[in-house]
Amino acid sequence: MLASLALAPGAFANFLTPKSGGSPNADSIAELYKLVLYIAAFVFLVVELTLLYSVYKFRAKKGAVAAQIHGNTRLEIGWTVAAGLILVVLTVITFIKLPSIINPPNSDPKGLVLSASTTEPSPPNGRKLTICVTGRQYIWRYTYGAACQQNPFTTKLPYSYQQMVAPANTTVVLVIQSTDVIHSWWIPSMGGKVDAVPGYTTYTWFKAPYAGAIYHGQCAQLCGRNHAAMTALVKVVSPTDYQAWIQQQTAAINAANQQVIQLRRVLTATGNL
Amino acid sequence: MSTTDYAVRPVPQIIAHEVHKPRETKKWVDWVTTTDHKKIGIMYMVTTFVFFILGGVEALLMRVQLGVPNNTLISAEHYNQLLTIHGTTMIFLFVVPIMAGFGNYFVPLMIGARDMAFPRLNALSYWLLLFGGIVFYFTLFFRPPEAGWWSYPPLSEALYSPSAGQDAWIFLIHITGISSLVGAINFYATIVNMRAPGMSWGRLPLFVWSILIYAVLLIVALPVVAAAVTMLLTDRHFGTHFFDPTNHGSPVLWQHLFWFFGHPEVYIMILPGFGIISEVIPVFSRKPIFGYKAIAAATSVIAFLAVLVWAHHMFASPVPVVVLGFFMLSSFLIGVPTGVKIFNWIATLWRGSLVMTASLYYAVGFIAIFVIGGITGIFLAIFPVDWQLNDTYFVVAHFHYVLMGGAVFTIFAGIYYWFPKMTGRLLNERAGKVSFWIMFIGFNMTFFVQHALGLSGMPRRIYTYQPGLGWSTYNLISTIGSFILSAGILVTVINIAHSFKHGRIAGPDPWKANTLEWFTTSPPPVNNFDAIPRVRSVEPMRDIRRQVERSTGVTQKTGGSERFARV
C-alpha cells in the first residue's frame, strides 16, 4: 500500500511543493522550500496586485494629467533595503535548514549497520551502510558494501542494476560515480540530485523511514539518446529482509559466475573459445 | 525628402535630405551592399525573426512528442537534436542578435548620430550572423548536434558524439560569437563617442544604457566561450584532453568556462529588453521614468554581478559547499537591482495617464510574467532547494518565464512601439491586443504547469515518459498551451505582414515620445538628421515639442495618430 502511495499514480502530482517522504533530507528541503514559498507568495501578491491596480486605476481619462514625478530617493532606498532584508531572511533560514539536509543522522537502533568509514559523509556515530551508485549509458548499477569504493566492478560484492534494495531506518551513504558521460542521480522523494561526473566521486545519503516503499527516479542530466530510459527504483525493505536479500543476491551472482566458468571450460575444451 | 515649410509641418521634425545621389543598382544589391545601420538593423530583425519561427516550430514538435506518455512520434535521437537546435537557435540566433537588431536601428537615432561608429564592421556583424546560422541549419540535412545547447563533455566529445553536427555547433558559437563581439565593440564605440551635443551619461536614453551594458557583457563573456569551444574542438579532433577524465582532463572545467559565459548571456538577452520597457512605459504613462539614475545604476550593477553567479548552474556538480554558499549569495544579490527595476517601472505607471496601446500591453504583461520568473529564480538560487529543482521542468519553466515571457514580450513591446518608425506605418492596435491576450494566456498555460512537472520529478530533456507518474495531465495542458501561444504569435506575424503595406500612416511621432528617433521622418532618411539638436534632458523630443509649442502657441500634434496622444 505504501508502495502505491509513494508512486502517487493519478493525474496530478505535486503542484506546489517538491516530493518528499522518503528521507529526512528530502523532508528538510521540502520544509525549506515551503518557507521560501510563503515569502515568495507574499512578494508575488504585493507586486502583481500593485501592478494590476495601477494599470486599472491610472488609465488615460479625459482631463486626467499624469503626475510629473522624477523619482523619490527615500522610496528607492526603502525598497532596495526591503528587498535586501528579504534576502537576508532567506539566507538565514537556508543556513538554519542546511545541516539537516547535508549531514546524515544516525541510523535508528533497529536499523542496520554494516560498515564504518571515514572518507565520506558520516553520521555522528560513524555507523552507516555504503552503497556505490555507478552511472553508465543508460543504466544505474548499485554495488553493496563499503569495499565498493575500491572498484565496484572487480570487488566481489553483491550488486544489482536499476532497482536498488535498501534497508529502512538505516543511514545509507551513496558513493556516486560515472564510467562514461555525466549522469545525475535523483530519487525525488529521497533528496536532491547529485551529478555523477566521470573522474569525480560525489556523495549523498538517505534514511528511508518506511519498509515496503518503492521510490521512482531517473537520470536528470542529458546523457545521450536513451537518457529518458535511465530510470532508477529504490525498494526499501526491513533490515532483516535486506540481509536476506543480500545473501540471496550474493548466492545468485555466485551461481551465475559458476555457470559462466563452467560454460567457459566446456567451450575451451571443445575448442569453441 | 521635400522641404516643408516649418509652420505647416504637423510635428517638430527635422528637415532631412537624402545625401547620396540616386543609385542605378537593383534593390537587393542595395540591401546586400548596405552599410546603413537602419537597413542592417532591419536585416537583423527579419533574419532573427525567421530563426525565432524555426525555433518555435522545433519547440512545438517537442511539445507534441511530450503531449502524451510513451509517444513514439519522434525518436530519442531526433528529440535530442530538436532540443539542441531549439536552445541554440533561440539564444544565439534569435534573442541575442535581435537585440543587436534593435540596437543597430535605434542606438544611432536615439543618440543623434548619423550611423554606427564602424558601418562596414556593422555589415560584417550581420553577415557573420547569417552565415553562422546557415552553417548550423545545414546540419539538418546531415546529422544535427544532439548534446544540448550547453554541450557538456564527455557527451559532446568525439567518443560519444561522433557526428559532425557537434562541430557545426562549435562553428556556430565561433561565427556568431565573432559577429556579436564585433557588434559589441561597434556599439561601445558608437555610444561613447557619437552622442549628440549635451547628451551626458545622465541624459542617455535607458535603452541605450542597456545596449551599452549589453556590449560590455558581450565583450567580457564571449572570449571565454570562444576559448571553451576551441578546447572542445581540439579535444574532438587534435588529440587534446582538456575535458576528458580518462586522460586527466576535467568535465567540470567545461562547466565553469561555459557558465562563466552562459550566465552573463542571460543578462545579455534580458537587459536590452529591460531597456525597451524603460522607454515604452514612460512614453505611454505620459510621465518621466521613475528613478532614471536608479535604473541606469541597476543595469550596471546587474552586469557586474552577472559575472559572479555562474556556478549556480552547477549546484549538483562536484563543487564544495562553501562555493555553493558563495554562489547562492551572489545570485541573491542580483535579485536586488532586478527588483529595483520592477519597482521603478510600476512607480512610473503609478499616477500616470496610461495610454493603453498594444506596446504597453506587452510591457505590462512582461512585468507580470517576469516577476514570476524572478521569484522562481530565488528558489533556484537556494542551493539545497536547487538540488530538487535543477535539471527539471521547474528550471525549464523558470527560464522560459525569463526569456520567453521576459525577453520575447519586451521584443514584441519594441516591435509595436518602433514599427511605425521603421516602416512609416502603424501596426493594427486591435490585432496587437488580441495577439497579446492569446500569447499571454498560451504562455502561462504552457509554462506555469511546468513548475508542477518539475516538482513532481520530471527531469528535462527526456523524450518520453511513463504514464502513472503524475506527469501526463500537466504535459497535455502544456502542449495545448504551446499551440495557443503560437497562434498568438501568428496574429502578430500576420499583423506585421499586413501593416507593412496597408497600415495607417504613422507620421514622424505617433506616440508623442521622448527620444530623438522620433525627431526625424518615419522611416528616417539615410543620414538620419540634417541638424542634430542640443540635448538638455533625458527626454529631448519632449523638450523640443514644448519649445515649439511655446514659440508658435500651437499644441503640437502627432502627425496621424492623435488617439494615442491624449494628455
For B14-23, the pLDDT digits (tens) are 556 655 656 6
Cross-chain residue pair B340–A76, CB shorter than 8 Å: yes
Which residues share a beta bridge with A133? A142, A176
* Cβ-defined contact of A54 to B349 (cutoff 8 Å): yes
- A111 is a domain residue: no
Q: Enumerate long-range contacts of B441-444, CB under 8 Å, 24 or more apart.
A: B441/B481, B441/B484, B441/B488, B442/B481, B442/B482, B442/B483, B442/B484, B442/B485, B442/B486, B442/B487, B442/B488, B443/B369, B443/B404, B443/B405, B443/B481, B443/B485, B443/B488, B444/B369, B444/B405, B444/B481
Q: Let me know whether A166 and A255 are in one domain.
A: yes
Give the Cα separation of A119 and B328 in Å (integer). Answer: 27
Burial class (CB in 10 A: 0-12, 13-18, 19+), A42: exposed
Are B389 and A200 an interchain contact pair (Cβ–Cβ within 8 Å)? no
**pLDDT by residue (tens digit) across A1-23?**
444 444 444 445 678 899 999 99
* CA-based nearest residue to B326, from A200, A104, A193, A91: A91
Q: How far is B55 from chain A (nearest CA, A)?
A: 20
Number of domains in chain A: 2
Return d(Cα B547, Cα B567) in angstroms, integer. Answer: 17
State chain B's mean pLDDT as an integer.
92
d(CA A263, CA B61): 50
d(CA A155, CA A150): 7
Q: What is the pLDDT of residue A115?
A: 45
- Least CB–CB distance from B340: residue in A26, A79, A225: A79
| Cβ-Cβ contacts under 8 Å, A96 against chain B | none
Does the structure show a pLDDT above 60 at B567?
no
Asked whether residue A165 falls in the same domain as residue A90, the answer is no
Q: Output A22 or B2, whichever has higher pLDDT.
A: A22
Q: Is there a contact between B343 and A79 if contact means CB atoms under 8 Å apart?
A: yes
- Give the residue with greater pLDDT, A5 vs B307: B307
Q: How far apart are CA A50 and CA A45, in angstroms?
A: 8
pLDDT(A167) > 90: yes
pLDDT exceeds 80 at position B553: no
pLDDT, average across residues A52-71: 87
**Does the beta-carbon distance from B367 to A68 stay under 8 Å?**
no
- CA–CA distance, A192 with A187 (Å, rounded to integer): 7
Q: Which amino acid is at A196?
A: A
Per-residue pLDDT of B138-177, as tens digits, reads 999 989 999 999 999 999 999 999 999 999 999 999 999 9
- C-alpha B567/C-alpha B560 separation (Å) is 16
- Which H or E element spans position B74? none
Rounded Cα gap, residues A172 and B429, in angstroms: 62
Interface with A, mutate which of B73, B155, B436 (most A CBs under 10 A): B155
Please tell me the predicted confidence (pLDDT) of residue B560.
41
Residues of A in contact with B354 (CB under 8 A): 55, 58-60
Beta pairing partners, A159: A143
Do A195 and B316 count as a contact with CB atoms less than 8 A apart?
yes
Radius of gyration of chain B (CA): 24
The answer to whether residue B78 neighbours chain A at the CB level (below 8 Å) is no
B380-389 tens-digit pLDDT:
999 999 999 9
The DSSP output letter for A16 is: S
Residues spanned by the domain of A54:
18-58+75-102
CA distances from B512 to A101, A189, B203, B349, B361 (A): 57, 57, 18, 17, 17
The HSE-up count of residue B111 (CA atoms within 13 Å, CB side) is 30
The answer to whether B492 faces chain A, any CB pair under 8 Å, is no
Compare all CA atoms of chain A with the CA of B356 and give the residue at the minimum distance.
Answer: A59
- What is the rounded end-to-end Cα distance, in angstroms, of chain B? 31
A224: helix, coil or strand?
coil
What one-character DSSP code corresponds to residue B392?
B
Amino acid at B410: T
Cell of B529: 538628421
Q: Give B29's pLDDT tier (boundaries 50, 70, 90).
A: confident
CB pairs A-B closer than 8 Å = 270
Tell me the per-residue pLDDT of B514-523, one tens digit each, with 9 for 90 and over. Answer: 999 998 988 9
Same structural domain for residues A26 and A137? no
Residue A156 in any domain: the answer is: yes
Residue A226 lies in a domain: yes
Chain B partners within 8 Å of A49 (Cβ): none
Q: How many CB atoms lie under 10 A from the CB of residue B277? A: 31
Is residue B231 pLDDT above 90, yes or no? yes
| Percentage of residues of chain A with pLDDT beyond 70 | 90
A94 and B339 in contact by Cβ < 8 A?
no
Mean model confidence pLDDT for chain A? 88
List the single residue in A72, A193, A199 with the smallest CB-CB distance to B387: A193
What is the mean pLDDT of the segment spanning B437-455?
Answer: 96
Instruction: For residue B388, give the nearest of A29, A84, A200 by CB distance.
Output: A29
Q: What is the amino acid identity at position B19?
A: V
Q: Answer whether residue A33 is part of any domain.
A: yes
**Per-residue cell: B349:** 505607471
* Residue contact A18–B388, C-beta within 8 A: yes
What residues contact A104, with CB distance under 8 A and at least 6 apart? A25, A121, A122, A123, A128, A171, A173, A205, A207
Same domain, A47 and A144: no
For B288, the closest of A68, A94, A193 (CB atoms) is: A68
* pLDDT recorded at residue A156: 80
Q: Tell me which residues of B are annotated as active site.
A: 86, 115, 149, 179-180, 263, 265, 267, 278, 312-313, 338, 341, 460
List CB contacts (< 8 A) between A83 and chain B.
335-336, 339-340
Same domain, A43 and A137: no
Q: Does residue A154 lie in a domain region?
A: yes
Report the C-alpha gap between B462 and B453 in whole angstroms: 13
| pLDDT tens by residue, B495-532 | 999 999 999 998 888 898 999 999 898 899 988 988 88
Greater model confidence, B562 or A172: A172
Pairing of β A163-167 and β A129-136: unpaired
Q: Check if B477 contacts A (Cβ < 8 Å).
A: no
Closest CA to B187 of B105, B128, B266: B105
Same domain as A88, residue A191:
no
Q: Using the predicted structure, report yes or no on whether residue B565 has a pLDDT greater than 50.
A: no
Mutate to test the interface with B, among A222, A230, A233, A234 (most CBs of B within 10 A): A222
- Rounded to an integer, the average pLDDT of B284-312 is 94
Cα A12 to chain center, whole Å?
21
Out of B346, B384, B566, whose CB is closest to A97? B384
Chain A hits for B339, Cβ within 8 Å: 79-80, 83
Average pLDDT over residues A44-71: 90
Domain identity same for A40 and A143 = no
Contact B105, B189 (CB under 8 A): no
Which residues, 6 or more positions from B183, have their beta carbon under 8 angstroms from its beta carbon? B100, B103, B104, B122, B125, B215, B218
Q: Are residues A203 and A162 in the same domain?
A: yes
Claim to verify: residue A142 and residue A232 sit in the same structural domain: yes
| CATH label of the domain that carries residue A201 | 2.60.40.420
**A114 within a domain of the structure (yes/no):** no
For residue B320, which amino acid is it? P
My answer on whether A264 and A151 are in the same domain is yes
* Cβ within 8 Å, pair A193-B343: no
Does residue A208 lie in a domain region? yes
> Which of A8-12, A85-89, B181-185, B314-318 is predicted with the least confidence, judged by mean pLDDT?
A8-12
**Are A98 and A134 in a shared domain?**
no
- Do residue B160 and residue A224 have CB atoms under 8 angstroms apart? yes
Other C-beta atoms lying within 10 Å of the C-beta of residue B437: 13
pLDDT for A62 equals 77
The predicted pLDDT at position B556 comes to 63
Residue reference for cell 554562489: B327
List phi, psi (to 5°) of B220: -75, -45
pLDDT in tens, B38-57: 999 999 999 999 999 999 99
* pLDDT class of B304 with cuts at 50, 70, 90: very high
Helices (H), B409-524: 409-423, 429-455, 472-502
**Chain B residue at shortest CA distance from A203:** B318
Q: How far apart are the first and last CA of chain A?
A: 50
Closest CA–CA distance from residue A34 to any residue of chain B (Å)? 10
Q: Per-residue confidence at A108, pLDDT binned at 50, 70, 90?
A: confident
Q: With contacts defined as CB-CB under 8 Å, which chain A residues touch B389?
A: 18
Report yes or no: B344 and B289 within 8 Å, Cβ to Cβ: yes
Nearest to B455 among A11, A14, A201 (CB): A14
Has residue A256 been placed in a domain? Answer: yes
Query: What is the nearest CA distance from A103 to chain B, expressed in angstroms?
Result: 12
How many other C-beta atoms are found inside a 10 Å radius of the C-beta of residue B343?
23
- Asked if A94's CB is within 8 angstroms of B457's CB, the reply is no
Burial per residue of A82-96, b for 16 or more beta-carbon CB atoms within 10 angstroms, e otherwise: ebeebbeebeebbee
ipTM value, please give it. Answer: 0.91
Instruction: Measure in Å the smallest separation between the Cα of A144 and chain B Cα atoms.
Output: 23
Interface test with A, best of B333, B343, B367, B409 (most A CBs within 10 A): B343
Q: Percentage of chain B with pLDDT > 90?
A: 84
Q: Collect all residues of chain B within an 8 Å Cβ-Cβ radius of residue A228.
A: 76, 462-465
Contact A225 B335 (CB under 8 A): no
**Among B residues 405-434, those touching chain A with beta carbons less than 8 Å apart:** none
CA distance B383 to chain A (A): 9
What does chain B come to in residues? Answer: 567
What is the per-residue pLDDT across B337-359, written as a single tens digit (0 to 9) for each?
999 999 999 999 999 989 999 99
Handedness of CA B1, B2, B8, B13 (dihedral sign): positive
Does A122 score more than 90 pLDDT? no
pLDDT for the residue numbered A12:
54
What's the CA gap between B104 and B183, in Å, rounded?
Answer: 9
Grid coordinates representing B478 are 502544456
B516 interfacial to chain A (CB closer than 8 Å): no
Least confident of A15-24, B204-213, B415-424: A15-24
Q: What is the pLDDT of residue A154?
A: 67
The whole-number average pLDDT for the span B290-304 is 95
pLDDT in tens, B53-105: 999 999 999 999 999 999 999 999 999 999 999 999 999 999 999 999 999 99
CB contact under 8 A, A94 and B386: no
A162 and A97: one domain?
no
Residue A125 contacts residue A106 (beta carbons within 8 Å)? yes
Q: Which of A80, A201, A225 sits opposite B80 (nearest CB)?
A: A225
User: Where do the domains of chain B lie, and which CATH numbers do they carry?
Assistant: 39-564 (1.20.210.10)
Classify residue A106 by its DSSP letter. Answer: P
